[in-house]
Structure 1
Amino acid sequence: MTTDLDLRNLHAELTKLKTFPMLALEDLIMLPARGLTHDHVLLGERPWKGKRLLARIPRLVRRGVTPEDALSLQAECFRRAGPSRHTPVLHNHLDPSPRLPNGALIVDAVEGRAADLPTDLTQLAETLASVHRLQVPDDMAPLAWTPRPVEALVALIEDQAEFIPALVQDRQARAILEEERKWARDFAAEHGRAPLPPALVLTDTHPGNFVIQKDGRAIFVDMEKTQYGSPAIDLAHASLHTSVTWDPDVSGTLSNDDVAAFYDTYRTAVPPSLARILEPWFLPFRRLTWLRTTTWGCRWYAENEGQVSCSGGGTQRDKLLTGVLERLRLMARPETMERVRREWRGPDKLMLD
């Protein structure tokens, strides 16, 4: 279910909380849209107990999930990652209601700038390490847990691969994806059942989901896909070429030396035992994560390509959607694919050991 936000409805729900008895409608500041799934509203210019707060309002809820369950799960994502001190703190929530069908979370308003690469790459590594170091509880529910991440990744890639024809028209690009999928299937046949110890992972870790504060810390802000799985996937998704070039506000590119330094920073920031377990998986998970991202792009394109023309293309959401579609077309070009594959093919392979 998709909803459009009316600030009057948000204000009416906020004033029911004891925290905001004096909050006026004109205090609410709608922030520019940066994504398609949430609206963000600043709760006034002045801080509440020393912090500026933000209402994070889901625009849609996944099919088959109630708004109550979706909001509760997202709140738990914030709670689990909170002790890392590199994610926004959850302060309160608004239950789904007729005025606010998907509810809202009240979290820190993180102030800062977009990542500048490669300068800020080590800070991204420190942030990921701070989350991956967190103790894993005996009961990981309600967050998902992927005990066999290779097997799960390859299964997801194969499920999404049926959508490749919707986006990838070039014959060379299709041949590249088929070659990489064959490698993935062969790799999974040999290593897919290997159980890897779980850690709390953030999943959607492309650099655009980090905000660099004045003190230099990188705060990860897009929390709803947090789960338990392999940290090597987070590291890959934060530093692959297709991730680094995804968000238009993120500047810079990465060399192999930059990526190697990113992994070195991470290794020194986590317990040596975790670093030793992960090292053999760093490169394979980069290859698998790229396939996951590219086939996800094919599926997303197939499911959303027609939306702009249907709606007229003039709204802010349409402009965001158009930008996503353009970046997906770029991802599907054979030259983009070969740029990524240079990490494991040719004379300049990426070395992470």
Structure 2
Amino acid sequence: MLIAQVFSNLRLHLGCTLQCDFDLRQLADKGLAHWHVRLEGTGLLARIPKQSQMGLGPLGNLAYEAACFQRAAACGHVPRLDRVIPPSEELPWGALLVEEITGSPVVGPDHMAPILQALASIHVLPVPTASERAPLLSESDPLYGMLRLVLAQSVYLDHPLISEPSRRTITKRLNDLTVTAPQICDGLAPRLITFDAHPGNFLITPTGKAVLVDLEKLRYSYPPLDLAHATLYTSTTWDVDASFTLSTAQVAHAYEVWMSAAGTIAEPYLAAFVPLRELMWLWSVTWCAKWLTESVKTKHASGAGGEDWSQANSDALLIQHVRSRVDDYLSISTINQVLSEFNELDRLFAHSS
């Protein structure tokens, strides 16, 4: 469904539930998973899914997203969930109404410390028993689940726009990590993580606090995946409004900020910092390969559910930006740059441990 149709139907649904007058204002199309509409004067935003990144149907996707907001609420660094608008013929994916956060985009390395502090506030939350974690993803072996996901995406590396040196290098790193990571991650406890911690998903409030405003992929896994997603080159240059690069020293400092904020839970993960950083990078670049193939496919039928990366879901300028990022991240020069950083971080963390 096109955003114009969604926009025209939203007031009808909201008018029955909100006891006040308001105007609707569509925000810029910045993400591949949601449209955002401000309910002027209410302090609320409508998050309207375009698809499900978790591969779910509309009802399951809304339940999952609502659980993300509810599960992370106690950390104090996420918006409040106000209500859920169920799927309907006019709004096939439904919507969530959430607190609108007043803040500015992340603009550079100086904002990394509040981001890592916000992530730590999520990671230290009490972990429910395994039977109480649903509907959030909680695999018995998070490392195996992550490797399986990356391997599934790696089949897209055969795309003709990906150079042979890039394909060969990514495949070798994935094969090597599949052998070495299990020993390094053995015994690590899963905690609540965001799995979508790139800087563009945060706003900085006037008091300097970082607030994670996009929550749809939370799960129980390893916190260093979030640390990687917050600081990798493939993350800090992803967003239209939050694009900058970090030096290796600045990355290492960000990890130190997290360790200080996370306290006693942090130390067991130290040896896995770089391997899980590489695994998160492998997830990112294999997703880029997947996007090259899936984005040119026809948009799914309305309300069909599941993942849908079709370019028809998003504004042309956003697609142009995503394509430029994908091309950059899959270039052999950028790949070599990232691998060089891993080697340097290995030396820095080994020296500090």
Match of residue 321 from structure 1 = 319
Q: Which amino acid aligns with 1:278?
A: Y
Shift in alpha-carbon separation, 1:37–1:316, aligned structure 2, 3 A: closer
Amino acid at match of 1:322: Q
Q: Aligned residue for 2:280?
A: 289
TM-score by length of 1: 0.88
Return closer, same or farther for 1:340/1:168 CA change in 2, 3 Å cut-off: farther
Query: Which of 151, 165, 171 matches 1:172?
Result: 165
Cα 1:92/1:169, change in 2 over 3 Å: closer
1:105–1:210 distance in 2 versus 1, CA, 3 Å: same
Q: Deviations over 1:163-202 (max 9, x none)?
A: 002165322222211321221122146456x242121110
SS in 1 for 2:323: helix
> Equivalent residues in 2 for 1:1-353 (5 A)?
2=1, 4=3, 5-17=5-17, 20-24=18-22, 27-44=23-40, 46=41, 48=42, 52-61=43-52, 65-138=56-129, 139-166=132-159, 169-188=162-181, 190-191=183-184, 194-272=186-264, 274-305=265-296, 317-345=315-343, 351-352=348-349, 353=352
Between the aligned partners of 1:290 and 1:62, the Cα distance in structure 2 is 18
Q: CA separation of 1:306/1:120 partners in 2, compared to 1, >3 Å: closer, same or farther?
A: same
The structure whose RCO (Cα within 8 Å, separation 6+) is larger is 2
Aligned residues: 336
- Assess if the C-alpha contact under 8 Å between 1:149 and 1:196 holds in 2: no
> 1:148: Cα distance to partner?
2.3
Letter in 2 for 1:129: A
Residues 65 and 288 of structure 1: is their aligned pair in 2 closer, same or farther, counting only changes over 3 Å? closer
Q: Do the aligned partners of residues 344 and 11 (structure 1) sit closer, same or farther apart at CA in structure 2, a change above 3 Å counting?
A: closer
Identity of aligned residues (%): 32
Give the Cα–Cα distance (whole angstroms) in 2 for the partners of residues 330 and 266 of structure 1: 28
Is the 8 Å Cα contact of residues 147 and 198 (structure 1) preserved in structure 2? no
User: Contact between 1:31 and 1:42, CA under 8 Å: does it hold in 2?
Assistant: yes
Shift, 1:61, TM fit: 4.1
Following superposition, the deviation at residue 350 of structure 1 comes to 5.3
Which deviates the most, 57-66 or 30-39? 57-66
Give a deviation string over 1:251-273, Cα, whole Å, max 9, x none: 4311111111101111111132x
How far the C-alpha of 1:204 sits from its partner, in A, is: 1.1
How far apart are the structure 2 equivalents of 1:63 and 1:221? 18
Residue deviations 1:6-65 (CA, integer Å, cap 9, x gap)? 333211111211xx22324xx111111111221111111x2x4xxx11111112346973
Mark the CA change 1:64 to 1:152 in structure 2 (over 3 Å): closer, same or farther.
closer
Distance 1:252 1:188 in 2: 29
Instruction: Give the superposed CA RMSD.
Output: 2.3
Structure 2 distance, partners of 1:315, 1:127, is 31
Q: Which whole-Å CA distance do the structure 2 matches of 1:218 and 1:152 have between them?
A: 29
Amino acid at match of 2:320: T
CA distance in structure 1 between the aligned counterparts of 2:37 and 2:345, rounded to whole angstroms? 46
For 1:201 and 1:156, the matched residues in 2 are separated by 17
Contact 1:211 1:219 in 2 (8 A): yes
Q: Report the more deviating stretch, 334-343 or 144-153.
A: 144-153
Larger mean CA deviation between 100-109 and 330-339 belongs to 100-109
Structure 2 CA distance for aligned equivalents of residues 99 and 152 of structure 1:
36
Change (3 A) 1:107 1:314: closer
Structure number with higher helix proportion: 2
The 8 Å contact of residues 160 and 299 in structure 1, kept in 2 or not, is answered as yes
User: What TM-score do the two structures reach when normalised by structure 2?
Assistant: 0.88
User: C-alpha displacement at 1:152, in angstroms?
Assistant: 2.1
Question: For the structure 1 residues 103 and 293, does the alpha-carbon distance in structure 2 shift closer, same or farther, using more than 3 Å as the test?
Answer: same
Q: Secondary structure of the equivalent of 2:348?
A: coil
Note if contact 2:87-2:94 (Cα within 8 Å) is conserved in structure 1.
Answer: yes
Give the residue type in structure 1 aligned to 2:27.
L
